[in-house]
Chain A
Amino acid sequence: MSEKKYIDIEFSQLDSERMRLFMGPQHPSTHGVLQLEVELDGEIVTDLIPHIGYLHRCFEKHAENMTYPQIIPYIDRLDYISSMNNELPYVMGLEKMLDIQVSEKVEYIRVIFSELNRIANHQIAIATFGLDSGAFTPFLYYFRDREMILTIFEKASGGRLLYNYFWVGGLAADVHPTFKEDITEAIRIIRDTNAEILNLLLKNKIFIDRTANVGILPADIAISYGVTGPILRASGIPLDLRKAEPYSIYERFDFDIPVGNGEVGTVGDCWDRNIVRFREMEESCKIIEQALKTFPSQGDVRENVPKRIRLPKGEIYCKAENPKGELGFYIISDGKDKPERVKVRAPSFVNLSALPEMSRGYMFADLVMILGSVDIVLGEVDR
């Protein structure tokens, strides 16, 4: 028998060759057309370069060539999962510049619909995140519930996904007669499903093992990268524009801001981001319930809609808390009926820029989880 030979290696001195791997744009878990150039050392991600722009649809060019109301449908198509939330800052900004006061009823409907759409957005976010981690059931459950919310939107606005519902000075149409009952029923079912999903997915041992302590984003780095929304709150900073600078009628409602506190791992990991989204759904339900209680059913939603919109010379930055973060529109007007420039502060774009920071040093398989937890929409990243 030959003698066993042991090779003595200092592992730190081993120099392995770095590998470059391209992921996307056609990849099932890049959530659209995103390309990631990943540099790997074995299985460890050492660097990451996102290549974006595969869905660059020239929104800002269109905005310069359209009249103010014509821009609203294009705004729907930015973050196409939460169109109602997208329209809100834009119409609020124009109303502020035109000095239009919208009626009480309009404000209520706007808040209720924004919150419903926030729920729908978070449902998709958690559902697709579950899909990325290999859980198919939450996807089916959440899409079943989301269909209910879409039906309510469809009854009110006529569209399932892209609504063009919030108009400058009012709404496109009044809500349908069974609006209150529909929403009450929807909220009951949403809560039921959420209770189920909590045990099925978020408290699941396998899920926790895959997401806890993965993709940690410390708060100071998050701020430096300009990250907002659930990701920032998961890092422990309770910044929510609905509370920090209340707009519309949000200051009338009582709700909390969920923040990540590292229950199963470290503050700011993937699990925290998901639990923050999950708890925000409950807060949205609370807001909707309070709003429905004091909902004024009288009033015309189109009485303040101006016939022709011509902004005074000037500029405004209007913002609102989108499900993904701070969505802002920087509108410059030179007194014509078309804007001089509309610039979008897209939350997904900014949040995605922090992805390399989040994923360096983790396994390649974790990269899918980290990307899923950022919850990007490419329509908004690329505009």
Chain B
Amino acid sequence: MGLLNRLNDPIGLDGIIFGTVEDLLNWGRSKSDWYLQFGLACCAIEFMAVNASHFDMMRYGCIPRSSPRQADFVIISGTVTLKMADRLKRVYEQMAEPKYVIAMGSCANSGGPYWEHGYHVLKGVDRILPVDVYVPGCPPRPEALQEGLILLQKKIRMEEIFRKRKRLAEEDLANQMNYK
């Protein structure tokens, strides 16, 4: 209830807050991040447990979406194989910006138990996607995944939207110049 507390501001003007638009946007984005409903391996069962009654992921504002185009972040819950890697990349590309990735479990982090002889296992999903939060464990406990979610929300809250936009625009311009 951070916002409501700020509304009782000592200035004496009820209902008026001082802050930046960026704060408001970030607050909104971090509290309603929808995720892609997507399970890969054993970790997906713990992920399902987080969704279900005991741990209740929806109270963080996370709602499952079945289409990548509606999702804000994706939880890579399990082993990514080489056959799956191309598909995973495509799923990630279909998601709309801004998008985030949580790598859940040691398989997604680094290949996990299959790091040595797994000729068909991708040793860490960060070889194909940019990962924001790593959750270690094999499988991570639901509490660990919840902590990962909170960390992701923290990360979203600290983002600098306008500066980033400006930087991206400059980069774009530079790219165009180079192209010419």
Question: Which residues on B sit within 8 Å (CB–CB) of A144?
Answer: 52-54
Q: Check B83 against A77 for contact (C-beta < 8 Å).
A: no
- B153 at the binding interface (Cβ < 8 Å): no
List B19-41 residues whose CB lies under 8 Å from chain A.
36-41
- One of B2-10, B116-124, B162-170, B172-180 at the interface: B116-124
Are A378 and B41 also in contact (CB < 8 A) when A143-B48, A143-B49 are? yes
Residues 43-89 (chain A) with a chain B CB within 8 angstroms: 53-58, 61-62, 65, 73-74, 77, 80-81
Whether A54 pairs with B87 at a CB distance below 8 angstroms is: yes
Please give, as numbers and ranges, the residues of chain B lying within 8 Å of A77 by CB-CB distance: 41-42, 113
User: For the complex, is B46 an interface residue (Cβ under 8 Å from A)?
Assistant: yes
Which A residue sits closest to B54, measured CB to CB? Answer: A147
| A58–B113 CB distance below 8 A | no
Least Cβ–Cβ distance between B123 and chain A, in angstroms: 12
Candidates B45, B54, B81, B84; contact of A161 at CB < 8 Å: B45
Query: Which residues of chain A are within 8 angstroms of B52 by Cβ–Cβ distance?
Result: 139-140, 143-144
B155: shortest Cβ distance to chain A, in Å? 24
Number of residues of chain B lying within 8 A (CB) of chain A:
35
A27 to B68, CA, bound (A): 10
Say if the beta carbon of B44 comes within 8 Å of chain A: yes
Residues of B within 8 A of A147 (CB): 49, 53-54
Q: Please tell me if B138 contacts chain A, counting CB pairs below 8 Å.
A: yes
Determine the main DSSP class of B at the interface with A: loop
Per the bound structure, the CA–CA distance linking A28 and B78 in Å amounts to 16
A160 CB-CB contact with B under 8 Å: yes
Q: Which of B38, B45, B66, B114 has the most CB of A within 10 A?
A: B45
- Selected from A26, A56, A162, A379, the residue in CB contact (under 8 A) with B138 is A162
CB-defined contacts of B116 to chain A, threshold 8 Å: 65
CA distance A140 to B58 in the complex (A): 13
Residues of B within 8 A of A160 (CB): 46, 139, 141
Contacting residues, chain A, for B78 (C-beta < 8 A): 55
Using known A-B contacts A80-B45, A140-B53, A143-B48, determine if residue A56 contacts B37 with beta carbons closer than 8 Å. no
Chain A residues, CB < 8 A from B120: 56-58
- B113 and A54 form a contact (CB under 8 A): no
Answer yes or no: A25 CB below 8 A from chain B CBs. yes
Q: How far, in angstroms, from A73 to B49 measured CA to CA in the complex?
A: 21
Q: Which residues of B contact A146 (CB under 8 A)?
A: 49
A55 x B81 contact (CB < 8 A): yes
Contacts of A58 on B, CB cut-off 8 Å? Answer: 114, 117-121
The yes or no answer to A262 lying at the interface (CB within 8 A) is no
A136: nearest chain-B partner, CB-CB: B52
Is the Cβ of B42 less than 8 Å from the Cβ of A162? yes
Q: Does A267 contact B (CB under 8 A)?
A: no
With both beta carbons as reference points, the residue of chain B lying nearest to A31 in the complex is identified as B39
Q: Identify which of B49, B79, B141 contacts A57 (C-beta below 8 A).
A: B79
Contact of A53 with B118 at beta-carbon distance under 8 Å, contacts A80-B41, A147-B54, A160-B46 already known: no
Is residue A197 within 8 Å, beta carbon to beta carbon, of the partner chain?
no
Once the chains are docked, how many angstroms separate the CA of A344 from the CA of B10? 69
Indicate whether B91 reaches chain A with its CB closer than 8 angstroms: yes
Whether the pair B46, A161 counts as a contact (CB closer than 8 A) is yes
Enumerate chain B residues within 8 angstroms of A125, measured Cβ to Cβ. none
CB distance from A377 to the nearest CB of B (A): 9
**Shortest Cβ distance from B81 into chain A, in angstroms?**
6
A138 → chain B closest CB, angstroms: 11
List the A side residues contacting B91 at CB < 8 Å: 26
B42 CB to closest chain A CB, in angstroms?
4
Contact string, B59-96, partner A, CB cutoff 8 A, digits 1/0? 00000001010000000001101011001000100000
The 3 closest A-B pairs by CB, nearest first: A143-B52, A80-B42, A144-B53
A-B contact pairs, 14 of them (CB 8 A): A32-B40, A33-B40, A53-B81, A55-B40, A57-B41, A57-B120, A57-B121, A58-B120, A61-B117, A65-B116, A74-B113, A80-B42, A143-B52, A147-B54
Q: Using CB atoms and an 8 Å cutoff, list the residues of chain A in contact with chain B.
A: 25-28, 32-33, 53-58, 61-62, 65, 73-74, 77, 80-81, 124, 139-141, 143-144, 146-147, 160-162, 378-379
